[in-house]
Each structure stands twice: as structure tokens, then as C-alpha cells.
Amino acid sequence: MAIATRRAQLEEVALNEDEYRAIVRAIGRDPNDLELGMFGALWSEHCSYKTSKALLRQLPTEGPDVLQGPGENAGAVDIGDGLAVVFKIESHNHPSAIEPYQGAATGVGGILRDVFAMGARPIAILDALRFGPLDSGHNRHLFHGVVAGIGGYGNCFGCPTVGGEVHFDSGYADNPIVNAMCVGLVAHDRLRRASADRAGDVVLLVGADTGRDGIHGATFASVEMDERSAERRPAVQVGNPFLEKLLCEACLRLNELAGVTAIQDLGAAGLTSAASELAYRGRRGLDIEVDRISRREQGMTPYEVMLSESQERMLVVVRPDAETAARQVFDHFELHADRIGTVTGTGRIRIRDHGVSVADIPLKALVDGVPLRSPVASFPDKQPTVVMPAVEEPEAILLDLIASPNLRSRRPIYRTYDHQVQDNTVFGPGFDAALLRVPGTNKGLALTTDGNPWYVTLDPYEGTKAAVAEAARNIVCTGARPIAVTNCLNFGNPERPAIFGQLQESIRGLADACRALELPVVSGEHPADAGDRHGRPARRPLPPMPVRIPGRRRPGLFAG
Amino acid sequence: MNTGIVVFPGTWSDRDCAHAVGEVLGQPGRYVDHREENLDDLDLVILPGGFSYGDYLRCGAIARFAPVMEAVTDFANRGGLVLGICNGFQILQEARLLPGALLRNASCEFRCEWVNLRVEQSESAFTLDCRPGQVLRIPISHGEGNFFADLQTLDAIERNGQVVFRYCAPDGRVTAESNPNGSLSNIAGIANARGNVFGMMPHPERACEDLLGGSDGLAVFRSAIHALARVAV
């Protein structure tokens, strides 16, 4: 391959020369375009955490109540009565910056799928949002689009949006932070892990047809925002909450069937990521007949099909003798399902198009083989000092504070969200933490998202500790005991030393605070997409690190 | 009161209605699939809230063609009790079982909040347990709840006593400020001329337990139980 061509190709998939050489070593030859695209997606920072993985090992992830820690679609914690709470938070910052309504809507859609893929019924959504000042028309466009997108998806799907937070700061101008958290409930014996561990099982692709939307969304989420980002608009997907509702009900019903091995949602990196992770977790392989996948348009290449991020799709793995029963469930909900492949014992993902092999990759290399990057961290010589202004006119300052968008009522936002559907909301938005009844028990579940971006900017370590402490306090205020944490670390590009330094300090703070409060971190996300290409730290202070803590109310507190 | 709760693709208040009627009030019932054609075993049919077929077209415009709607129409024509809540109200209008239309909220935004409703008609099967002028506190959750009808229709439903609920202030005054969506004459719920088919935008099933903020919604379901008992006597 000519060097210039290869460079362009590597830029397309955002991999470097070292990574290319690692791919060649792993498969024993040069990859073809499809294979390179698949590596590009799974070896993106978004999917692989190649720069932050080592840091994340510091986090406490175990505890007596933890049923599922990080590494699955979502984390799960025991809450007694044979029930588990399943939850996770994810960012959708980049898509929301380009197309705010659909970016935010599909962020909600993605996190809902993560939860019902675990067999849990989604019972709550929370959103942590950051925008630039609303005196700019573009920031207002982003703000209104994101809020409408969250409401548009959650309201139609029928999961209440019960809490969240929003901050405005010039650092987020044109560069919003959109984090969506979903919480679900499931009986222990129905908690499902997405692992295809039986060779011979049938792989079904259920839900939406596959289109050209969102190709390389995972790669896109890992490169820095720049003036060309708007050109990537086709990389933003469009959501269909109605289809998602049907998919959710179908998956929850499938979860009751014998012979269903695994359910996995298609998120970042689409079918490539979902299929590879499913088979790798089960220590098996997978053969996919790419021509069997229903498409939205003609002429799509295997590359486009394998990397599409079309929304509202799930992979369902069943024993051959359970396929008929599974199809009856899909028929009931009028969902389309394609039989696209089989689980094998090869340890490889093999893709055929009309019988011709188009990709053949060992799964270990694809899912777990990315060379970890060890970026350089730098730390500011001295932390910025806060100059407290002299208070000469306290009345004027008080009026300024009352008028500040950061202290105003959030009612204009949350009254556009259905926060009551499912009949469990005891305290909805507007309280320190939301409180939901756990149906069928005398327990409640307290939920919050917190994070102060300015504290984290001033001191990532202390600021992150403060975020965990604030969330814990808000949980305690409802009478609940904090039990676990999910987190979303919204930082800029970790390849930049100053940002990697912030990330390092922030994770250390998160780990220390969670240890001190004996809280396991059971899920989370670490998007590397909150910075811009030109590195203007003064204009782009460190985005926040929202932390979310579901807490459990002690039994017996509900008299009702 | 054997209650049928109709589930269209995209319905999401079905489980909430089942909780209110089944668990809180202890009434028997079942879910009704949108493809069903026989409702003979039922005393009350509820069309619950949600986004039937995604409401990507006009709300309720597709659901009204579901096979079950023929059965619902027969059931209503035979005098059976039919309650449409939110999306269910929209569907009943699309099916011409109730007059008027529900437009986009005047604010052009979705609204989820508690509102106050004044009981205008306490003889209806769904308000028998209420006093005339009583104020009920029940939440709304919709983007298209702005009641509209042409003047003739409006005049007729007012004259016939078909207006059952109006949005009002906590003290019962019907004011512009207490109207959450721009509905004509603050109309929140109406019945058909015969009084057996009723549609309302607020969600009574969300107001059946004090734990969740209030229990005024129980009056709607309890009234239906009493109306049926009266017929049976």
C-alpha cells in the first residue's frame, strides 16, 4: 500500500502507524478496508479507553452488593427482595454539538438500550447538561434542541426523566456536554449478561433496518471538535423512540424465554462492536453473513453495514431450537428480525458477503488488543487562585445571583419532561435527589447527578472528590443510603499533557472519594471528546465530572 | 368492574392504569391487544396514554384504524363505559366517538405538571362520586392537549352538559393562567351526548396514591364502579 494512501486511510479511521503495525502483527497480513475500519472503530478511544484504561484500574468496583461491575452494558447492584438496580451514564456530546435534538435524543435511546439489554425495565432517566451562555443564538439553539431531544425521546418511550442538572459557562460555548443516565430494575434471576458462550447458537439482528447513518460515530466521538465537525453531520444518527419502546417490550419478554443466550444493544461502532464483544465475552467466535442484513438503501457496502450506527437495533443470540419462540415474540410486536449468523468455536469474527469472505479477524486482537497509550501528563505549576471580589454592594450581588442562569429555577426545563409515567415518582425534579418507589416493595430508590465544573477546573482532584461528596449528600438528604456510583468523565483529548494531567487527578479523586464513602463504581464512561482542536484552556475550562449515585432508602420508611 | 386496558404499539400508561384499577382499587381486568375484536367480557374499556404508533402523524390518527377500534365503537354504541386518557382521548376523537380535536399546546411545548380541574358535570359516569364545582388535583403530561371545536360544536357540548372538567385555579376559578395548554373554555375533559364515553387529557391513574402526590384521580375510577353498580341494580 502506498504510504500516502495509507496515511489518508489511517486518518479516516483515526489510528496511528504504531497501531497499524500492531494490526498487521495480530492478523499476520495487511488488513483490507473493512478490517481496518473495524479496528478503527474498536480501537478508538471511545470503545477501547486506550489512554485511560490504566488510570481506571484505580477505581473501586467491588462491594458486597455489586452483582455486575464495569465491562457489561451497565452495572448492577443488589437492593434486596431479590431485586437489582441496573444503571449507567453515557455522554453524547459530539453528536449534540452538531445536531442537538437528534444528538440528545439518541443519547437517551442508547442508554435505555444498555439497561434493557441487561433484562431490566428502565424506570428513570437523568440528564447532566452543560451549555455556553444563552446570550448567544447558537448556544440557545443547542440548549433548546438538547432539552427538546431528551424530552422527545423519553416522553415518547415512556420512561420518566426524574432528575439531572444544568450549568451554563462560557467554557461550553458551542461545545455542550450532554450526559444521559438510565436506571432500571430487574429480578436477580433475570439479570442478563451479554455473552455468546455456546457455539452453534443463532444470531438475530432485531429492530431497525441498517442505514448509512452514523458510520464511524465512535471514531468521530474520539477526535477533537473543529470547524469541519459540521461536515460530519451524516455521522449523527436519527432516533425512533416508538421503535425503541417496542424493542424494549420485546426484549423484556424474550428475557423470560428459555434458550435465549444473550441480548446486546448496538451502540457505538454498531454491529462490529456488538458482535465482537458478545462473542469475545463468551470466548467464542462469530460468523456473519452480511448480505442477510436488511438495509434502508440499496448499494450499501459491507463496510457501511458493519460500521453503521443506525439506532434501535439489538443482537439476540438464541439456541437453534428457541428461534421459533423468539420469532413469535418479535411477530407480536411487529418487529423485523434477520438471522445474520452463528456463534462458532473459532475465536474469530468472520464476515461473508454472498459467500465470499470479506473479513477474518481474531477477536482477542480486535476487542482486547489495542496497544495502550501512555500519554504524558503535565500539571500546572500552581493552581489558579480565586480572587474574591470585595463585597461593596451586597444587594446588587444578591440580585445578580438570583438572576444567574446557574441559580434560576429549572422548572421551565423539567416541566417539558414526563417525570411521572410508570407511577413510581415520589420526588421528581426540583428536589435534592429524585426518589422513586420500588414497585412491589416498601423501598425507595434515590437518584442524583452532580458535579461542579468550576471546582474541577480549579483543582481536578479536590473538585472530583467534592462532586462525589455532593452527590452523596443529596442522596442522604432524601433519607437514603448511597450504595453505588456511575460516572461520566467529560474531558478533552487525553493526548494533550495538560488534559491527561487533569484526567489523572480527577480519577484519583474519584477513587479516593469512593473508597472513603465505601461506594463501588459499577459503570461509566470516559468520553475524550470535550475539548477542541486549538486548545484554548482559558475559553475551554475543564468540563465537569458529573457523578451519579443511586441510593437506597432504608426499608420501612414508606408509610403509604 | 371488569376492566379492559387497550394496548396499542407505543402505549405506555397501560401498566399505570392496571396498577390504579387493579392494585389500588382491587378490580379485575385484563390488557386488550390492539388486534382484538371482541370486548364482550368487559364492563369498562380504558384507552390509556402513550404515543400510539409514535404519534408521528397526528396523534391518534393511526391508532383509530386498529382492529380493536371497531370493537370499541360497537362496545360504546351498546352503552359500554369507555374512558380515554390523554392519547386515548385523542384516539376517541379521531374515531369520532367524541367531538372536537386536540391541537398542539399553545406553548408549543410538552407539559408535565399538576393541574386543578373543576368538576362541571357530576352526573357523568366518571364523576358520580364528585360534587359539582369540586376541584380535583391531577397531573397532565402531553404536547397536544389544546382542546378545540368549532363554535356550533362547542355550544352544543356546553348546552348538553358534556363538559365534565375544566382547568381551574386551586380555588376553582376558571382563569387563563390556570389553562396549561390553551384549551377553548379551559376544557380538560368531555363526554359524549349519551354520557358513556369520556375523554380527559390529565392522568387520573397518576393521582391514586398520596405517596405519589395525591389521590384525587381515584374519583374517576370509583365513579365508574358506582355507575356500573347503578346500572346493575
pLDDT digit string (tens) for B150-205? Answer: 999 999 999 999 999 999 999 999 999 999 999 999 999 999 999 999 999 999 99
- Give the amino acid at A504: Q
Q: What is the tally of helices (H) and strands (E) in chain A?
A: 19, 22
Average pLDDT over residues A238-256: 96
The SS3 of residue A85 is strand
The total of structural domains in chain B comes to: 1
Query: Quick check: helix, strand or coil at residue A492?
Result: coil
CATH of residue B18's domain is 3.40.50.880
Q: Does A121 touch chain B (CB under 8 A)?
A: no
Give how far Cα A217 sits from Cα of A2, A98, A229, A488, Å. Answer: 27, 12, 12, 18
Q: Touching check for A545 and chain B: CB below 8 Å?
A: no
**Percent of chain A having pLDDT more than 70?**
89
pLDDT tens string A23-49: 999 999 999 999 999 999 999 888 888
Question: Is B114's pLDDT higher than 50?
Answer: yes
Name the minimum distance, in Å, from the CA of A426 to any CA of chain B. Answer: 5
pLDDT (0 to 100) of residue B230: 84
pLDDT (0 to 100) of residue B181: 98
pLDDT band at A10 (very low <50, low <70, confident <90, very high): confident
Residue A60 pLDDT: 92
- DSSP H or E segment with residue A350: strand A348-353
C-alpha cell at B137: 388535583
Asked if the Cβ–Cβ distance from A416 to B110 is below 8 Å, we say yes
- CA A342 to chain centroid, in Å, comes to 27
- Please report the pLDDT score of residue A520 as a whole number: 92
> Does residue A153 carry a pLDDT above 70?
yes
- Extract the C-alpha cell encoding B106: 399553545
Check if A348 contacts B (Cβ < 8 Å): no
Contacts (Cβ under 8 Å, ≥6 apart) of A354: A291
**Higher model confidence: residue A554 or residue A443?**
A443
What confidence category does residue A392 fall into, taking pLDDT thresholds of 50, 70 and 90?
confident
State yes or no: pLDDT of B41 exceeds 70: yes
CA separation for the pair A529, A51 (Å, rounded): 13
**Alpha carbon A233 to its chain's center:** 20
- Read out DSSP for B169-230? -TTS---STT-SS--GGGEEEEE-TTSSEEEESS-GGGSSBGGGTB-TTHHHHHHHHHHHHH
Q: Is B55–A437 a contact, with Cβ atoms under 8 angstroms apart? A: no
CA distance A536 to A532: 8
- Looking at beta carbons, which residues of chain A come within 8 Å of B203? 420
Contact across the interface for B51 and A155, Cβ inside 8 Å: yes
Any catalytic annotation for residue B34? no
The CA-to-CA distance between both ends of chain A, in Å, stands at 71
d(CA A330, CA A327): 5
Q: Which domain holds residue B8?
A: 3-232
Whether A422 and B205 lie within 8 Å, measured CB to CB:
no
Question: How far apart are the CA of A442 and the nearest CA of chain B, in angstroms?
Answer: 11
Interacting residues of A447 by C-beta distance below 8 A, sequence separation 6+? A124, A126, A162, A163, A181, A183, A433, A434, A435, A436, A548, A549, A550, A551
Query: Bigger pLDDT: A212 or A84?
Result: A84
**Per-residue model confidence (pLDDT) at position A537:** 31
Average pLDDT over chain A, rounded to an integer? 88
In this complex, the residue of B10, B19, B211 whose CB is nearest that of residue A426 is B211
Give B79-105 pLDDT, tens digit per residue: 999 999 999 999 999 999 999 999 999
Does residue A443 sit at the B interface (CB-CB below 8 Å)? Answer: no
Annotation says B208 is catalytic = no
